Amino acid sequence: MSTEFPTRPDALTESARFSIVASQYNPEFVDRLVTFASEELKAIVPNPEISVIRVPGSFEIPIAVQTVATQQKPDALLAFGLIFEGETLHASLIATAVTQALLDISLRTSIPVLHEVLVAKNEEQARTRCLLPEINRGIEAARAAIRILQSLRQVVKAR
């Protein structure tokens, strides 16, 4: 695991719309990702619009992300879930499918999809990534969302 953590980007000068799609599984961890991300977005973006959509599990995240992307067209989407590795390949299969689907949706819609559907070997790994602010993946996703929006807005302005 990388212990490097991205610094907070410069604040946006205009508002932005964000949608967070989060799994209902492992709520003690996923809820904190959502909270940390929402707080970070509010600290960087003036008057952000943030909607949160809950889905049953990580496997259902892509269909909700796709629907939000095509129907609501937010500036960026953040996807949060937590999958614990087990004794079978089930977690790996879900993680791979979710990863590919989120990438496909982002490329097809040209809307950034920040992928923080995490796979953890144990609760200690989950706590470190979800509950603690030092390397919290919710904060990381919010900062990445701002950075990609800044980059994409520069590309559009350069046209």
Task: Choose the catalytic residue: 8, 42, 73, 90.
Answer: 90
Q: Which two tokens stand for residue 86?
A: 């087990």
Cα–Cα distance for residue pair 159/156, rounded to 1 Å? 6
Which single residue is written with the structure tokens 């937010």? 74
Q: In what order do the strands lie in the sheet containing 76-84?
A: 49-55, 17-23, 76-84, 113-120
Q: Is 115 a catalytic residue?
A: no
Catalytic residues, which ones?
A: 90
